[in-house]
Homo-oligomer: A and B are copies of this chain.
Amino acid sequence: MLEIGHYVAAPFCTRLLADLGAEVLKIEPPGGDPVREWGEQIDGNSLWWSIHGRNKKSIALDLKKPRARELVLALVASCDALVENFRPGQLTKLGLDEHSLRSARPDLVIAHISGYGQDGPYRERPAFGVIGEAMGGLRYLTNHPPEQSSLPPVRVSVSIGDSIAGLYCAFGVMAALWRRRAAEESDSRGQSLDVALTESVLSMMEGMLPEYGALGKIKQPTGGAIATAAPSNVYPTLDHKWVLIAANSDPLFEKLTWLMGHPELAASPQYCSNQVRVQNAPMLDALISQWSAQFTEPQLLALLTARKIPNATAYTAADCAADVQYRFRRMVREVEDPILGRMLHSGIVPHFPDMPGEVRWTGPKVGQHTSEVLQELLGLSGEQIEALRRDGVI
């Protein structure tokens, strides 16, 4: 599997594939993927990169040199798939159009990720994750209702548009490989796929489009609540945590009112059914918040759990790191990074009990595997590799 990618979406895609055992060769410019400079660093080494680049081999190539193009095509010959996320048309400018790639490997699966897709009026526009989230409809909805706040909508703090697109791409690559094999000799041509950040986000929007189309309803933000079920929100605790309580069925709500010492609420005309609870959710949430704020987080969780009312703390990084379930399932695990030392990684999703995979290595240095791969895969000699290095190709 070849990655000619940068930043988040394509590298996230290939990391998922690498986590499941694929051999992923990442082509980087000699200066490295700029994502290596993102987030917290220790001595110039990115902590995020340790995850983002893990289980991949890094090959440094200056794609502006013609010899680099030949090397890419030679590598493509041994690959099942290529994943890229440059501006549409960029690979063609580098002589790596689909026709050239398929001349090197006729059944290559070629996966493109871009902001808006490979065609259409917006294809040339620059795009980032935030733009995908905005035009996919996510940003507008991630907000308090206007009657509660005039603050702008918020970002979820990570490039979720990029990651969702990367995940769609990983799904698409496997689907294309399955189809290729299912077709066997009959049609060995590899397929191309075209993933857009905007479309990946829009595809998550549930009934938003049909409800607009049929009823003219423009879906509106609901803060921490759910538009169709109440109470379901996060509530404050004495020790300044937020605890999610999902008591949005009549029996669960009744249990909650007992805990709150106000069983009469369950029968009151404002709160006696989900329908009226939704209408009066801001008032109900205020009541629950007054009650929850009397307890510390552990006290509140214990009360709710004893009554089997679904609950969860809005976890911080520290909470995730300490969680016994994540530790049990190795979703939070310690790995050894040769530069950064012992560190925390998230685990492998999805989990295959019989083949759980492993963090075989953490994010490599730029070009760490260049010589190894050119030697082993392409049979280049030490001298040839040295010459490429002198010429600034690798």
Contacts and interface: CB of A to CB of B under 8 A. Distances in A.
A178 interface: yes
Interface string A161-181: 001100111111011111101
Nearest to A131: B312
Contacts of A176: 352
B218 A160 contact: no
B171 A310 contact: no
A141 interface: yes
B139 A244 contact: yes
Nearest to A118: B353
Copy total for this chain: 2
Interface string A129-162: 0110011111111111000110111111111100
A120 B350 contact: no
Given A152-B235, A221-B157, A312 B167 contact: no
Given A134-B313, A167-B164, A346-B203, A154 B139 contact: no
State which size class the interface on A falls in.
35 or more
A228 B35 CA distance: 12
A275 B191 CA distance: 43
B153 A314 contact: yes
Given A149-B151, A178-B177, A181-B181, A310 B131 contact: yes
A316 B219 contact: yes
Contacts of A203: 346-347, 349
Interface string A207-234: 1111111110111011111111000111
A262 to B, nearest CB: 21
Interface of A: 16, 20, 38-40, 42, 46-48, 50-52, 111, 116-122, 125-128, 130-131, 134-144, 148-149, 151-160, 163-164, 167-172, 174-179, 181-182, 191-196, 198-200, 202-215, 217-219, 221-228, 232-236, 242, 244, 246, 308, 310-321, 323-326, 328-329, 331-332, 334, 340-341, 343-347, 349-355
Given A39-B211, A154-B224, A196-B351, 7 more contacts: A47-B210, A122-B325, A130-B246, A177-B178, A195-B349, A203-B346, A205-B320
